[in-house]
């Protein structure tokens, strides 16, 4: 009897987790041969803060999608936003690069984080090569202060991460919509904690203030994946401009 | 008078005759029988008759000439007792005339009809084509005939009759109305399609007979609510006057307008002082208010779709933070704005065409029942409302016992649940226009049957009786709509249609993003009542006159940041392509014009290029055909036209006031009698051929016996 109850519970739990992805935010990460998961528990903090501070409903389990899998298309078809992290060379089969292209063109969004913290990294060069294959017609653009990612929830005045290698995010735009967002400041490391809840990595150069700013930027990226360019609508502009002026 | 006709056959027979003569004279010496000679002589005479086709003509006595009264009974004949005058003239003369002539009566309006008497004739409501009636009559009349054509000459074209027949005389009879006074609307030029909030122009031609330099008023009245839309005074002069009426329609729909001009004393009628017209006012942009309760992929994709449609003006609000959520930064660090409840539900609501609630609960934001009542009123007055499912929609959103419940197509109940499950709709109304995504029926069915799985649904109790269900899953009306008064309400019980945009990852053959885009556009356009919103509009009068300038306005319905100049060309009735050069009036409006020199259908084409996309619009207009009938707009007797008919038949125009039918008939009869001859063809009168053969055989037989 206990076994039946246990199986039923597990089954229901799995079902819930499978279907809950339908209208909730899912922390979906692309897995590839290599260091694809530099900060394995970061997603828990991200989801906690997201559900605590915003109206976004979150799925508590992380979704991992194998980017080399033959069934990549089936997995991506149910996941509107995916992330790819790493510090070393990334290899994606050519046919799956095409799948990723279709995914992004048809409404998906990809966030890429170079966690190497180097100006020149294998991760960066391989990513640029993959993106070039994926979208030969597009080039990376750089965000400005007016970009939607700077105001999709928090008003961000500086692009930072654990480090500040570049004061901007890069993105590939398709039909007026950023479809690939690329960070090189290692934003994701700002969330990493040890088992006692203490942040593992110091943020350089501005410390905790920089961490907080980076965390807000990451939440903005997530909010963008759910609201699009909502904050660029005319109705918001006078309010946002007023707030920016006040802060100055 | 005897005539002889010579042909090639005649020459051949002459040779044969010579041979025969030779035979006669050759036999003289051998057989001199009188009978044979007689027979041969007779043969020669017969041959001559036969070969030379001898005939003769002689004057013929005419018993009775056809006297035909062709009477116009079209609508215009009711004015100034025109038809009564004709009846009086005929009845006065009928007894005398019927003794001498074969009197016949015909009436004509849109058809020609033979009648026995004129007493019961009444004006009809029809218009007429005089030339066509005369042509028809002449084609059935025997000769000689005298036709009195009684008409006011008000013809719907300027064509004169084409048929002429020997010894048929057409005498046009008109009316001499010296004190004719009338003011009438004679021509209208306007586009039958107008656009909400875009100025609409009606050009009015008013003809004045007997009134000069007086102040006249013209009104444009919306007959549905009796509202006077335009009220304009102008100075009316004798002859043709042109007045322009401009107004800006504020609501969409098909409207019946009345154009009415002042009525003056002694006018022949006031009937032609009013004209009723229909204008279909459409939306040129759909204004959508989209309220979403929480950020979600559905919001991301639907907002993106609406934002990228140039025909849609979108204002959207998504609740990024609920009152209970923790604030970890000062307000100036949040890119949030206060939810403008009052502005949305009171001030601005009626400026939208469509309101969408997605997973949006009214309870957190001080939205009272009164505000929801405004939504109900908005729908009743013609607005569209869409509710998309979610944990904060329908019953779960607290809409039970609110004015929203009344307008929804689904039933709200306590046992409603929000269910996560992967499924496909198991009932699809393929025939419904909203679900017709692909033209090919088989493709359409296949695409719907294999649509990517949805991820959740609102388990409602059921659907209301009057609702139309498009998609169903296990008795759950996934997609349904209903019409509420003038508006439409659409209910979608899932918020995972975004998965269909990514369906292209699962299918190589079919474009599921296209399905998603078309389906949502269909839903948005249908629910907002704006099925035909386009990016480019051509506005010009549909019916135009020859050799008169036609003004064309091109309206561009694209986002502000897109600036372009349209190419405009016309296809003429003789299939020539002529380019026009539009002039920029504003960012959204270009204008051009042309003068048509041919009657028939013209096609106006406007093309605009936005990147790789080509937006094209075509409009058909007619030149030469008038909407207003001359039967009412031009009531003055058209003496000129009647004179043209008289000239064509070499007769004289008569006026009914001093018409002497008997005198005219006698005069013509004298001429006719001298002209008429009868023709007697000798060779046809007798069976000469047979006689000739018989005599010839007899002659040979006698000659042989001997």
For B378, counting Cβ atoms within 10 Å of its Cβ (0-12 exposed, 13-18 middle, 19+ buried), the class is: buried
Closest of B329, B322, B389 to residue A51, by C-alpha: B322
DSSP 8-state assignment for residue A181: E
Per-residue pLDDT band at B167 (split at 50, 70, 90)? confident
Q: How confident is the model at residue A8 (pLDDT cuts 50, 70, 90)?
A: very low
- pLDDT-derived band of residue B635, with 50, 70 and 90 as boundaries? confident
Residue B473 sits at the chain A interface (C-beta within 8 Å)? no
**So what's the pLDDT on residue A14?**
44
Q: How distant is the Cα of A248 from the closest Cα of chain B, in angstroms?
A: 11
The answer to whether the Cβ–Cβ distance between A80 and B297 falls below 8 Å is yes
Peptide bond into B38 cis (omega under 30): no
DSSP-derived pairing of the beta strands B417-423 and B454-459:
antiparallel
Q: Which pLDDT does position A12 carry in this prediction?
A: 43
pLDDT digits (tens, 9 = 90+) for B520-550: 999 999 998 876 556 777 888 888 887 888 8
Split at pLDDT 50, 70, 90, the class of B482 is: very high
State how beta strands B253-261 and A28-31 pair: unpaired
**Range with the largest mean pLDDT of A6-20, B266-280, B340-354, B394-408:** B394-408
B315 part of contact set with chain A, CB < 8 Å: yes
Mark yes or no for CB contact B326/A99 under 8 Å. no
- Check CB contact under 8 Å for B505 and A226: no
Contact B512, B451 (CB under 8 A): yes
pLDDT at A11: 45
Mean pLDDT of B687-700: 70
pLDDT of residue B546: 79
- List the one residue out of A49, A167, A57, A170 whose CA is nearest residue A110: A170
Evaluate whether B433 touches B441 at the Cβ level (below 8 Å): no
* E-state strands within B460-587: 462-463, 468-473, 476-484, 487-492, 536-539, 543-544, 550-556, 567-571, 577-580, 583-584
pLDDT at A1 over 50: no
Interface of B with A in 497-536 (CB under 8 A): 498-499, 501-506, 512-513
**Position A18 pLDDT exceeds 50:** no
Which of the four pLDDT bands, split at 50, 70 and 90, describes residue B94? confident
> How far is B249 from B281, CA to CA, in rounded Å?
7
What's the pLDDT at B419?
Answer: 93
- Which run of H or E residues covers position B278? strand B274-282
- Suggest the residue from B288, B297, B307, B331 to mutate for an interface test with chain A (most A CBs closer than 10 A): B297
**If you average pLDDT over residues B343-369, what whole number do you get?**
88
- Residue B256's nearest CA partner among B225, B283, B230 is B225
Least confident stretch, A148-152, B57-61, B200-204? B57-61
Which among B385, B645, B387, B390 is positioned nearest to B527, based on CA atoms? B385
- CA–centroid distance for A246 within its chain: 30
Tens of pLDDT, residue by residue over B170-228, are 999 999 888 889 999 988 888 888 887 788 889 899 999 999 999 999 999 998 788 89
Phi, psi of B604 (to 5 degrees): -95, 125
| Average pLDDT of the residues of chain B | 84
Q: Tell me how crowded residue B276 is: count the other CB atoms within 10 A of its CB.
A: 11
Report d(CA B261, CA B219) in Å as an integer: 6
Range among A122-136, B123-137, B512-526 rated most confident: A122-136
Q: How far is CA B619 from CA B376, B580, B606, in A?
A: 38, 14, 9
Q: What is the pLDDT of residues A198-238, one digit of tens each?
A: 999 999 898 999 999 999 999 999 999 999 988 888 878 78
Report the residue count for chain A: 248
CA-CA-CA-CA torsion sign (B1, B6, B7, B11): positive
Instruction: Compute the CA torsion angle B532, B535, B539, B542 (nearest 10 deg).
Output: -50
pLDDT, position A133: 95
Here the tokens at position B46 are 């017969």
- pLDDT per residue over B574-626, tens digit each? 888 899 998 888 877 889 999 988 888 899 999 887 766 677 888 888 887 55
Higher pLDDT, A137 or B667: A137
pLDDT of residue A89: 94
HSE on the CB side for B681, CA within 13 Å? 9
Query: What is the pLDDT at residue B488?
Result: 93
The Cα B305–Cα B308 span in angstroms is: 5
Nearest to B321 among A21, A55, A247 (CB): A55
pLDDT computed for residue B686 by the predictor = 56
**Residues A131-150, mean pLDDT to the nearest whole number:** 94
Q: Where is pLDDT greater, at B587 or A81?
A: A81
């Amino acid at each position: 009897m206990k076994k039946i109850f246990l199986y039923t519970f597990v089954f229901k739990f799995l079902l819930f987790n499978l279907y809950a992805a339908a209208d909730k935010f899912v922390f979906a990460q692309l897995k590839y041969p290599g260091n694809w998961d530099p900060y394995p528990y970061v997603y828990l903090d991200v989801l906690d803060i997201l559900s605590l501070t915003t109206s976004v409903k979150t799925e508590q389990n992380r979704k991992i999608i194998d980017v080399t899998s033959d069934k990549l298309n089936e997995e991506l078809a149910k996941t509107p936003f995916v992330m790819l992290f790493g510090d070393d060379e990334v290899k994606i089969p050519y046919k799956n690069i095409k799948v990723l292209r279709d995914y992004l063109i048809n409404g998906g969004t990809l966030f890429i984080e170079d966690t190497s913290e180097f100006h020149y990294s294998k991760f960066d060069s391989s990513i640029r090569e993959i993106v070039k294959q994926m979208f030969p017609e597009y080039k990376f653009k750089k965000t400005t202060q007016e970009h939607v990612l700077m105001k999709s929830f928090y008003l961000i005045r500086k692009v930072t991460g654990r480090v500040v290698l570049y004061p901007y995010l890069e993105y590939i735009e398709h039909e007026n919509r950023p479809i690939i967002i690329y960070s090189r400041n290692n934003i994701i490391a700002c969330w990493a904690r040890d088992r006692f809840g203490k942040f593992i990595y110091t943020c350089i150069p501005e410390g905790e203030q920089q961490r907080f700013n980076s965390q807000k930027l990451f939440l903005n990226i997530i909010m963008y994946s759910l609201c699009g360019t909502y904050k660029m609508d005319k109705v918001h502009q006078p309010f946002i401009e007023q707030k920016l002026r006040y802060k100055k | 008078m005897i005539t002889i006709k010579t042909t090639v056959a005649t020459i051949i027979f002459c040779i044969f005759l010579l041979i025969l003569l030779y035979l006669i004279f050759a036999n003289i010496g051998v057989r001199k029988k009188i009978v044979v000679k007689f027979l041969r002589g007779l043969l020669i005479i017969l041959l001559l008759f036969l070969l030379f086709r001898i005939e003769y003509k002689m004057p013929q006595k005419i018993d009775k000439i056809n006297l035909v009264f062709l009477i116009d009974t079209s609508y215009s004949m009711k004015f100034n007792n025109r038809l009564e005058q004709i009846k009086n003239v005929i009845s006065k003369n009928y007894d005398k005339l019927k003794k001498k002539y074969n009197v016949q009566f015909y009436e004509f309006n849109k058809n020609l009809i033979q009648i026995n008497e004129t007493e019961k004739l009444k004006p009809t409501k029809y218009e007429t084509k005089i030339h066509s009636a005369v042509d028809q009559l002449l084609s059935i009349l025997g000769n000689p005939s005298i036709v009195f054509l009684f008409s006011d000459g008000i013809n719907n074209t300027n064509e004169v009759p084409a048929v002429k027949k020997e010894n048929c005389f057409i005498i046009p009879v008109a009316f001499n109305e010296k004190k004719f006074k009338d003011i009438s609307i004679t021509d209208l030029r306007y586009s039958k399609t107008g656009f909400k909030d875009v100025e609409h122009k009606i050009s009015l031609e008013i003809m004045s007979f007997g009134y000069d330099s007086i102040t006249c008023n013209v009104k444009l009245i919306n007959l549905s609510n009796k509202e006077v839309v335009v009220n304009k005074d102008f100075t009316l002069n004798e002859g043709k006057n042109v007045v322009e009426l401009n107004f800006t329609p504020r609501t969409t729909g098909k409207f019946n307008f009345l154009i009415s001009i002042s009525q003056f004393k002694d006018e022949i009628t006031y009937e032609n002082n009013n004209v009723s017209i229909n204008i279909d006012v459409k939306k040129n942009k759909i204004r959508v208010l989209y309220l979403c309760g929480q950020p979600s992929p559905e919001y991301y994709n639907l907002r993106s779709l609406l934002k990228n449609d140039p025909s849609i003006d979108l204002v959207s609000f998504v609740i990024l933070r609920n009152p209970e959520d923790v604030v970890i930064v000062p307000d100036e660090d949040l890119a949030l704005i206060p939810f403008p409840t009052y502005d949305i539900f009171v001030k601005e609501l009626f400026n939208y065409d469509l309101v969408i609630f997605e997973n949006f609960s009214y309870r957190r934001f001080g939205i009272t029942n009164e505000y929801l009542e405004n939504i109900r009123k908005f729908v009743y007055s013609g607005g569209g409302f869409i509710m998309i499912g979610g944990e904060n929609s329908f019953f779960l959103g607290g809409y039970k016992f609110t004015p929203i419940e009344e307008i929804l197509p689904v039933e709200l109940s306590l046992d409603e649940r929000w269910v996560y499950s992967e499924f496909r709709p198991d009932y699809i109304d393929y025939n419904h226009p909203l679900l017709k995504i692909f033209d090919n029926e088989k493709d359409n069915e296949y695409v719907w049957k294999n649509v990517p799985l949805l991820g959740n649904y609102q388990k409602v109790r059921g659907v209301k009786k009057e609702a139309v269900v498009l998609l169903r899953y296990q008795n759950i009306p996934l997609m349904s709509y209903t019409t509420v008064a003038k508006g439409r309400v659409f209910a979608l019980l899932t918020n995972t249609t975004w998965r269909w945009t990514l369906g292209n990852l699962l299918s190589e053959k079919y474009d599921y993003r296209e399905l998603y885009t078309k389906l949502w556009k269909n839903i948005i356009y249908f629910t907002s009542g704006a099925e035909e919103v386009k990016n480019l509009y051509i506005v010009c009068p549909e019916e135009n006159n020859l050799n008169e300038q036609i003004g064309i306005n091109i309206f561009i319905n694209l986002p502000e940041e897109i600036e372009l100049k349209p190419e405009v060309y016309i296809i003429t009735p003789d299939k020539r392509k002529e380019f026009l050069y539009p002039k920029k009036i504003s960012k959204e409006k270009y204008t051009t014009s042309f003068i048509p020199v041919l009657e028939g259908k013209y096609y106006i084409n406007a093309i605009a290029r936005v990147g790789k996309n080509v937006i094209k619009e075509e409009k058909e207009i007619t030149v030469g055909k008038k909407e207003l009938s001359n039967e009412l707009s031009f009531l003055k007797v058209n003496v000129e036209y009647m004179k043209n008919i008289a000239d064509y038949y070499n007769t004289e125009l008569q006026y009914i006031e001093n018409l002497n039918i008997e005198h005219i008939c006698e005069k013509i009869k004298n001429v006719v009698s001298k002209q008429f001859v009868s023709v007697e063809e000798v060779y046809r009168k007798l069976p000469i051929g047979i006689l000739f053969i018989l005599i010839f055989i007899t002659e040979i037989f006698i000659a042989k016996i001997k």
